[in-house]
Amino acid sequence: MDVTSSELVFDFPFFIRAYKDGRIERLIGTDVVPPSTNPVTGVQSKDVVLVPETGLSVRLYLPKTAADPGHKLPLLLYFHGGGFCIETASSPTYHNYLNSLVDEAKVVVVSVDYRRAPEYPLPVAYDDSWAAVKWAASHSAGGGPEMWLNDYVDFDRVFFAGDSAGGNIAHNMALRIGSEGINGIKVVGMVLIHPFFWGKDPIGVPDQGDGGAPPSGLADKLWMFVCPTSSGSDDPLINPVKDPKFGSLGCVKVLVCVAEKDSLRDRGRYYCEELGKSGWRGTAEIMEAAGENHVFHLFSPATDNAVAMLKRVASFINDEGNS
20 with 130, same domain: the answer is no
> Which member of 91, 262, 278, 297 is catalytic?
262
Q: What is the pLDDT of residue 212?
A: 57
Q: What is the pLDDT of residue 116?
A: 98
Average pLDDT (290-313) is 98
5 in catalytic set: no
Q: What is the pLDDT of residue 216?
A: 64
The range of the structural domain enclosing residue 17 comes to 1-30
pTM of structure:
0.95
**How many domains does the chain fold into?**
2
51: CATH: 3.40.50.1820
Tell whether the model's pLDDT for residue 322 goes beyond 80.
Answer: no
20 with 156, same domain: the answer is no
Tell whether the model's pLDDT for residue 147 goes beyond 60.
Answer: yes
Average pLDDT (172-179) is 97
131 with 173, same domain: the answer is yes
Tell whether the model's pLDDT for residue 279 goes beyond 80.
Answer: yes
141 with 222, same domain: the answer is yes
275 burial (CB, 10 Å; 0-12 / 13-18 / 19+) is buried
Average pLDDT (145-164) is 97
Mean pLDDT of the chain: 94
| pLDDT tens digits for range 121-139 | 999 999 999 999 999 999 9
Q: What is the pLDDT of residue 71?
A: 84
17 with 52, same domain: the answer is no
| pLDDT tens digits for range 250-274 | 999 999 999 999 999 999 999 999 9
229 with 299, same domain: the answer is yes
Q: With pLDDT > 90 as the criterion, what percentage of the chain qualifies?
A: 89
Q: What is the pLDDT of residue 68?
A: 72
24 with 40, same domain: the answer is no
| pLDDT tens digits for range 229-246 | 999 999 999 999 999 999
Q: What is the pLDDT of residue 108?
A: 98
Return the number of other C-beta atoms located less than 10 Å from residue 241's C-beta: 18
194 with 101, same domain: the answer is yes
11 with 153, same domain: the answer is no
> Which member of 45, 164, 233, 278 is catalytic?
164
45 in catalytic set: no
Strand ranges (DSSP E) for the chain? 8-12, 16-19, 24-26, 44-51, 56-62, 73-79, 108-113, 153-163, 187-193, 253-259, 283-289
> Which member of 95, 194, 294, 297 is catalytic?
294
77 with 201, same domain: the answer is yes
Residue 70 confidence class, pLDDT cut points 50, 70, 90: confident
55: left (phi over 0), alpha (psi -120 to 50) or beta: left
13 with 41, same domain: the answer is no
Residue 65 confidence class, pLDDT cut points 50, 70, 90: confident
Residue 55 confidence class, pLDDT cut points 50, 70, 90: very high
The dihedral through the CA atoms of 91, 94, 97, 102 has a sign that is: negative
164 in catalytic set: yes
41 with 4, same domain: the answer is no
Tell whether the model's pLDDT for residue 205 goes beyond 70.
Answer: no
